């Protein structure tokens, strides 16, 4: 039954610090949530410069959440900052000038190792003890999506280095470079091995990258997910 104290005007401001403290204890959840927000919002925002800039702000949130997540791991925070700071600058530049190949390539060259390092840090976090915490469960999903983002940036770099590397049903080979969101879609479908993507590589170099991601997806399930399931079962 509700009481008068439940409707005190100052109660919500008092609850806000507790909510922020909860997010602070679960940076991996913040990272996973920020990535999913970008995935859901990007199709509606990519049609204009303002929309791309707004999506870039969300990507900055992803970068900040990734650095916060790394701080909870045995990895080196300074490495994530060394890669993350230029990634922030290039995220804004790419949102404003997405057609400039030099900016796209530079952004991909910085973002790809940054995301792969964050994924390494999260996986090290999962393997550092024999306990399965709530944040580690979020880190399992976050690490998976971070790897998928890293490969999407590799595909973006490959598309600049080897034009017409990918074909989409909506964009025949050689017509225009594929949008980053299409490359992200290819990365997620490759990582999960569902094979539902209508985007596929047609150049040998990019096919090699896709094959590497397929192997990474299989090993992720075999090593990381299986270990967490085993630990949870043993604890039960």
pLDDT at residue 8 in the model: 46
Q: Is the pLDDT of residue 163 over 70?
A: yes
Confidence class of residue 147 from pLDDT cuts 50, 70 and 90? very high
Rounded Cα distance, 185 and 190, in Å: 8
Convert 115-126 to b/e letters by CB count within 10 Å (16 or more is b).
Answer: bbbbbbbbbebb
Q: Report the alpha-carbon distance of residue 232 to residue 134 in Å, rounded.
A: 12
Residues 196-217, mean pLDDT to the nearest whole number: 89
Q: What residue ranges do the domains of the chain occupy?
A: 26-235
Give me the pLDDT at residue 50, please: 66
pLDDT average, residue stretch 195-209: 86
The predicted structure's pLDDT at residue 192: 87
* Total number of residues shown for the chain: 236
Task: Please write the tens of the pLDDT for every residue from 43-88.
Answer: 877 666 666 666 666 766 676 666 666 666 666 677 777 887 888 7
- Specify the range with the lowest mean pLDDT, choosing from 10-14, 165-169, 203-207: 10-14
Helical H runs in the chain?
A: 11-25, 27-45, 49-70, 77-96, 101-127, 134-161, 180-192, 204-220, 226-235
Q: In this predicted model, what pLDDT tens digit does every residue of 84-108 receive, in sequence order?
A: 788 878 877 877 777 788 888 998 8
Q: Compute the average pLDDT of residues 2-19.
A: 49
DSSP 137: H
Higher pLDDT, 60 or 200: 200
What mean pLDDT, rounded, does the chain reach? 77
């Amino acid at each position: 039954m509700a009481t008068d104290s439940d409707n005190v005007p100052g109660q919500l401001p008092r609850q806000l610090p507790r909510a922020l403290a909860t997010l602070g204890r679960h940076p991996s959840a913040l990272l996973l949530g920020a990535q999913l927000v970008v995935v859901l919002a990007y199709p509606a925002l990519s049609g204009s410069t303002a929309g791309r800039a707004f999506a870039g702000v969300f990507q900055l949130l992803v970068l900040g959440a990734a650095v916060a997540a790394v701080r909870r791991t045995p990895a080196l925070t300074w490495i994530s900052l060394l890669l993350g700071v230029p990634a922030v600058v290039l995220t804004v530049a790419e949102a404003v000038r997405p057609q400039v190949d030099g900016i796209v390539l530079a952004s991909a060259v910085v973002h790809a190792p940054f995301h792969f390092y964050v994924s390494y840090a999260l996986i090290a976090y999962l393997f550092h003890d024999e306990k399965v915490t709530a944040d580690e469960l979020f880190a399992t999903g976050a690490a998976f999506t971070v790897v998928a983002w890293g490969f999407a940036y590799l595909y973006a770099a490959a598309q600049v280095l080897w034009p017409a590397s990918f074909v989409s049903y909506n964009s025949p080979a050689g017509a225009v470079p594929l949008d980053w969101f299409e490359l992200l879609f290819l990365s997620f479908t490759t990582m999960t091995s569902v094979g539902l993507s209508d985007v596929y590589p047609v150049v040998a170099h990019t096919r090699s990258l896709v094959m590497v991601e397929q192997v990474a997806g299989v090993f992720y399930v075999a090593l990381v997910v299986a270990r967490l399931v085993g630990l949870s079962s043993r604890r039960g």
